[in-house]
Amino acid sequence: MKEISISTGPLQRKYGDEKALKIAKAAGFDAVDFNLEGYGMTDDCIYHASEDAFGTYFTSLKKKAEELGIRIGQTHGRCGTFAPEKDRCDFVRFVTERDLKATMYLGSPACVIHSISTMSWGIVPPEVMREENQKMFSEFIPLAEEYRVKISQETFGDAVADGVRVLDFFGDVHELKAQHEQLETSWKTLCMDTGHVNKATAFGIMPAEEAIRLLGKDITLTHLHDNNTFSDQHLPPKMGGTINWGNVFDAFDEIGYSGTYNFELALDYFGDTLEDAVIFLGKYLRKFVDGRGIV
CB of 191 to Zn ion, least distance (A): 7
Query: Is 30 a binder of Zn ion (CB under 5 A)?
Result: no
CB of 33 to Zn ion, least distance (A): 9
Per DSSP, the three-state class of 189 is strand
Per DSSP, the three-state class of 288 is helix
Residue nearest to Zn ion (CB): 223
List of E strands, the chain: 4-7, 31-35, 71-76, 110-112, 150-154, 158-161, 164-167, 188-193, 219-223, 261-263
Output the CA–CA distances (angstroms, integers) from residue 192 to 65, 84, 204, 216, 224, in the order listed.
Answer: 25, 27, 18, 10, 8
Distance, in Å, from the CA atom of 269 to the CA atom of 258, rounded to the nearest integer, reads: 31
Q: Within positions 165 to 204, which residues make up the interface with Zn ion, using CB under 5 A?
A: 193
Number of residues that bind Zn ion (CB under 5 A): 3
Q: Which is nearer to Zn ion, 232 or 250 (CB)?
A: 232
If you compute the radius of gyration of the chain from its CA atoms, what whole number of angstroms results? 18
CB of 195 to Zn ion, least distance (A): 7
Q: Which is nearer to Zn ion, 22 or 96 (CB)?
A: 96
Q: Within positions 251 to 290, which residues make up the interface with Zn ion, using CB under 5 A?
A: 264
Q: Which is nearer to Zn ion, 177 or 223 (CB)?
A: 223
Q: Which is nearer to Zn ion, 47 or 263 (CB)?
A: 263
Distance, in Å, from the CA atom of 133 to the CA atom of 267, rounded to the nearest integer, reads: 30
**Residue 206 class from Cβ within 10 Å (0-12 exposed, 13-18 middle, 19+ buried)?**
middle
Query: Is 223 a binder of Zn ion (CB under 5 A)?
Result: yes
CB of 158 to Zn ion, least distance (A): 13
Distance, in Å, from the CA atom of 8 to the CA atom of 264, rounded to the nearest integer, reads: 8
Q: Which is nearer to Zn ion, 54 or 189 (CB)?
A: 189
Q: Contact, 191 vs 170, CB < 8 A?
A: no
CB of 48 to Zn ion, least distance (A): 26
Query: Is 76 a binder of Zn ion (CB under 5 A)?
Result: no
Q: Which is nearer to Zn ion, 175 or 264 (CB)?
A: 264
Binding residues (CB under 5 A) for Zn ion: these are 193, 223, 264
